[in-house]
């Protein structure tokens, strides 16, 4: 009991010298554990006289609390060092330049389809779909193209080695069969557009065996040719973003419309470059007409009560004209340089009331 000061400095030295939390715990056990040196001395208090015990007890308690305090202090020192070491080891250098990340682009076909949907969407049309592999009846016969009709020869059809209910199957040559499918299941008023893939056995700078069309169909009791003209006029001007774009309706023939008209937009070819909206030339962009009463009757719609118009256009052709893409085959080459050049940063669509043109991915 005489030498508590020496003991205190000895234990304090051990605590201070503990190099890590394990060593510190060992030092604590040696002093304050069940058989620790201070604990053993505490046990000796019982044999002392009351006076001695009082003095020695106070001294030992003071020693014990000093040592506990020293242990706590060393512990937080060691823990702090631990955190500092981890911080140093896990340090991230935020000044390093970011790794390059390649971003995708919206394909001009997707962009153009979205643009067309958005413009007709504003006019109240909704999107309808049908199968790519189609029954002969839907692709031709119901559209007033019977088996011996010359229009069949013009379609360069891919026939498929399959039959359904005795019907020869084809890869649809246009999106028009979806008119039939819609009119069979939906009562007028009908107002749909049909974007989708179409197929013809043809391959050159302006044709590809697979391409895209958008079909339009509007049926009700009162819609007439004036509405057809107004609707397609507005569409052409919104799509090309030219409020003054000249639009011409030229008499034509389609078996499924009567009368029929092809739609041309004004342009010039001066110096070999096409400029849309300028000059005295015309460029055909779509086919249209008043739905042939025979087609309505083929779908079970009373042609004495209902009437309306239809139209169809090629998506690639629209995209080529609007975005200056010279060769149709390149749409499907999957050449990344082409996609980066002609792709779009994000889907951004024009509107009937004239919103900004979409952003090209590269200038
Ligand atoms: N189906 C026609 C084609 O592929 C395009 C077309 C013309 C669709 C006139 C129509 C229409 O709905 O009325 O060439």
Residues 289 and 163 reside in one and the same domain: yes
69-74 mean pLDDT = 91
* Residue of 335, 337, 341, 345 lying closest to 104 (CA atoms): 345
Instruction: Determine the Cα–Cα distance for residues 266 and 245; give it in Å rounded to an integer.
Output: 7
Q: What is the pLDDT of residue 45?
A: 87
55-62 mean pLDDT = 89
Q: Is residue 163 very low, low, confident or very high in pLDDT (cuts 50, 70, 90)?
A: confident
Residues 56 and 122 reside in one and the same domain: no
* Window from 107-111, 205-209, 304-308, 358-362 with minimum mean pLDDT: 358-362
Q: How many structural domains compose the chain?
A: 2
- Residue 149 CA to ligand 1 center (angstroms) comes to 16
Question: Best substitution site from 211, 254, 310 to test ligand 1's pocket, by max atoms within 8 Å of Cβ?
Answer: 254
Alpha-carbon Rg for the chain, nearest whole angstrom, is 43
Residues 58 and 175 reside in one and the same domain: no
Residues 210 and 271 reside in one and the same domain: yes
Q: What is the pLDDT of residue 361?
A: 60
Q: What is the pLDDT of residue 216?
A: 98
Cβ count within 10 A of residue 134: 26
Q: What is the pLDDT of residue 93?
A: 84
Instruction: Determine the Cα–Cα distance for residues 125 and 140; give it in Å rounded to an integer.
Output: 24
The CB of 212 under 6 Å from ligand 1? The reply is: no
H-type helices in the chain, by residue range? 4-17, 21-32, 37-43, 50-89, 108-122, 136-139, 150-154, 177-185, 225-240, 293-298, 315-323, 336-342
Instruction: Specify the DSSP element, H or E, that contains 314.
Output: strand 307-314
In a domain, 361, yes or no: no
In a domain, 351, yes or no: no
Residues 124 and 258 reside in one and the same domain: yes
| Interval 320-349: pLDDT, tens | 999 999 899 999 999 999 999 999 987 677
Residues 70 and 169 reside in one and the same domain: no
Residue 360, pLDDT above cutoff 70: no
In a domain, 278, yes or no: yes
Residues 61 and 188 reside in one and the same domain: no
Residues 51 and 139 reside in one and the same domain: no
| Interval 212-232: pLDDT, tens | 999 999 999 999 999 999 999
- Residue 199 CA to ligand 1 center (angstroms) comes to 14
Indicate the residue among 27, 59, 89 that finishes a domain.
89
In a domain, 103, yes or no: no
- The residue whose CA has the least distance to atom 7 of ligand 1 is 287
47-69 mean pLDDT = 89
Residue 363, pLDDT above cutoff 60: no
| Residue range of the domain that includes 248 | 108-342
Residues 134 and 207 reside in one and the same domain: yes
Residue 130, pLDDT above cutoff 90: yes
Indicate the residue among 89, 119, 149 that finishes a domain.
89
In a domain, 236, yes or no: yes
In a domain, 98, yes or no: no
Choice between 26 and 149, residue whose per-residue pLDDT is larger: 26
Report in angstroms the alpha-carbon separations of 77 from 8, 23, 132, 207: 20, 13, 74, 78
Question: Best substitution site from 193, 207, 219, 256 to test ligand 1's pocket, by max atoms within 8 Å of Cβ?
Answer: 256
Residues 257 and 308 reside in one and the same domain: yes
Residues 190 and 327 reside in one and the same domain: yes
Question: What's the CATH number where 269 sits?
Answer: 3.30.930.10
Residues 136 and 201 reside in one and the same domain: yes
* Window from 91-105, 110-124, 132-146 with minimum mean pLDDT: 91-105
- The residue whose CA has the least distance to atom 6 of ligand 1 is 312
In a domain, 96, yes or no: no
Instruction: Determine the Cα–Cα distance for residues 339 and 181; give it in Å rounded to an integer.
Output: 35
Report in angstroms the alpha-carbon separations of 351 from 120, 144, 241: 9, 35, 9
In a domain, 348, yes or no: no
- The residue whose CA has the least distance to atom 8 of ligand 1 is 312
């Amino acid at each position: 009991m005489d030498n508590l000061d020496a003991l205190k400095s000895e234990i304090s030295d051990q605590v201070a010298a503990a190099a890590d939390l394990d060593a510190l715990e060992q030092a604590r056990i040696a002093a304050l554990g069940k058989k620790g040196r201070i604990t053993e001395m505490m046990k000796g208090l019982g044999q002392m006289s009351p006076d001695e015990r009082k003095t020695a007890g106070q001294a030992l308690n003071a020693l014990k609390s000093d040592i506990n305090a020293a242990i706590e202090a060393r512990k937080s020192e060691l823990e702090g060092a631990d955190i500092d070491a981890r911080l140093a080891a896990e340090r991230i250098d935020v000044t390093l330049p970011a790794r390059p990340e390649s971003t995708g682009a919206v394909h001009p076909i997707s962009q153009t389809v979205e643009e067309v949907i958005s413009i007709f969407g504003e006019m109240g049309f909704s999107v309808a779909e049908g199968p790519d592999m189609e029954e002969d009846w839907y692709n031709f016969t119901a559209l007033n193209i019977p088996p011996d009709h010359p229009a069949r020869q013009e379609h360069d059809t891919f026939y498929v080695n399959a039959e359904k209910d005795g019907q020869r199957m084809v890869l649809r040559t246009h999106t028009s069969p979806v008119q039939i499918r819609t009119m069979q299941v939906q009562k007028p008023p009908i107002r749909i557009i049909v974007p989708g893939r179409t197929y013809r056995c043809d391959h050159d700078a302006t044709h590809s065996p697979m391409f895209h069309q958008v079909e339009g169909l509007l049926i009700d009791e009162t819609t007439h040719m004036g509405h057809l003209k107004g609707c397609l006029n507005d569409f052409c001007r919104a799509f090309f973003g030219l409020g003054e774009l000249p639009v011409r309706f030229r008499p034509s023939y389609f078996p499924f419309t009567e009368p029929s008209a092809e739609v041309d937009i004004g342009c010039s070819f001066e110096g070999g470059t096409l400029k849309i909206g300028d000059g005295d030339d015309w460029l055909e962009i779509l086919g249209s007409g008043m739905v042939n009463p025979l087609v309505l009757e083929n779908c079970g719609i009373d042609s004495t009560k209902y009437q309306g118009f239809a139209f169809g256009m090629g998506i690639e052709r629209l995209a080529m004209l609007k975005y200056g893409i010279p060769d149709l085959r390149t749409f499907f080459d999957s050449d990344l340089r082409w996609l980066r050049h002609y792709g779009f940063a994000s889907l951004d669509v024009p509107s009937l009331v004239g919103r900004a043109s979409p952003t090209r991915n590269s200038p």
